[in-house]
Amino acid sequence: MRPADLSILFTWEERKPLLHEGMLCVPRNYDKHEKFDIPFSEIFENDNPICIEFCSGNGEWIARAATLYPEYNWIGVEKKFTRTRQIWSKKHNLGLKNLLPVCGMAEDFCSHYLKETRIEKAYVNFPDPWPKNSHAKNRIIQAPFIEMLTKVSKPGTTLTLVTDHQKYSEQMMKVMNSNERWQSDEDCILPEDYGTSYFNRLWLDLGKSIHYMKFSLQEVS
Ligand SMILES: C[S@@+](CC[C@H](N)C(=O)[O-])C[C@H]1O[C@@H](n2cnc3c(N)ncnc32)[C@H](O)[C@@H]1O
């Protein structure tokens, strides 16, 4: 199956949450997300714990993770349709029943679709850095997103953040440190078997350093 085998699923006017051939489309600027009520246990056909990667790009990292760790269900959330269908193509070509590509905004998915789910692990690998100061407000790692993520996490849930961008890594640390529920694993180093991605290789080839941060959710004190 090639990514191009999947055509755009609905027009802007007809947009609605739609599960199609193993991919979930989450419309933007939409106020009826609650219309989608298929539980994850039905989508994955099991109750295995859920891991999520936000900003998955072409899905290289998450497809490998889903292959290596079949005991988890994996959800890859990517806002661009052309990239999400690359994840969809990998899912079908590799026979990954435990991978759900989601085309939509991470914020929408997190606040409307996870509902009662308590995720096991969350990852954000190389989120868009928005390097200009005036654009930094568009970065995904900000307090409101972390609050949404906290609501769908449980004590012990981990959040891994990876970036090549020094200033963004400092902002990530600041945002996470300002939320007392998340504790930083100060000594963490990038595990050898972490996996790679298009942007990971791109930045390494340019000689950039990679910042790897890991946090875990604490019990309410
Ligand atoms: C720099 S790329 C990294 C892609 C991939 N993680 C990698 O390492 O190759 C960032 C990706 O995040 C997606 N993205 C940015 N903001 C998003 C959001 N709010 N929700 C979902 N995806 C988002 C972009 O479309 C892009 O594919």
Query: pLDDT by residue (tens digit) across 67-80?
Result: 999 999 999 999 99
pLDDT at residue 187 is higher than 90? no
Contact 46, 73 (CB under 8 A): yes
Q: How many CB atoms lie within 10 A of CB 12?
A: 8
Strand partners, 211: 163
User: Has residue 221 got a pLDDT over 90?
Assistant: no
Question: What residue ranges of the chain are covered by domains with CATH 3.40.50.150?
Answer: 1-117, 122-178+198-221
For ligand 1, say whether the CB of 78 is within 6 Å of any of its atoms. Answer: yes
Does residue 123 register a pLDDT over 90?
A: yes
Of 5, 37, 47, 128, catalytic: 128
pLDDT of residue 10: 86
What is the topology classification, in CATH, of domain 1-117? Answer: Rossmann fold (3.40.50)
Q: Confirm or reject: Cβ of 57 under 6 Å from ligand 1.
A: yes
At the second CATH level, the architecture of 122-178+198-221 is 3-Layer(aba) Sandwich (3.40)
Q: What is the pTM of this model?
A: 0.97
Burial 79-118 (b: 16+ CB within 10 A, else e): bebebbbbbbbbbbeeebebbbbbbbbbbbbbbbbbeebe
Judged against a pLDDT cut of 90, whether residue 220 lies above it is answered with no
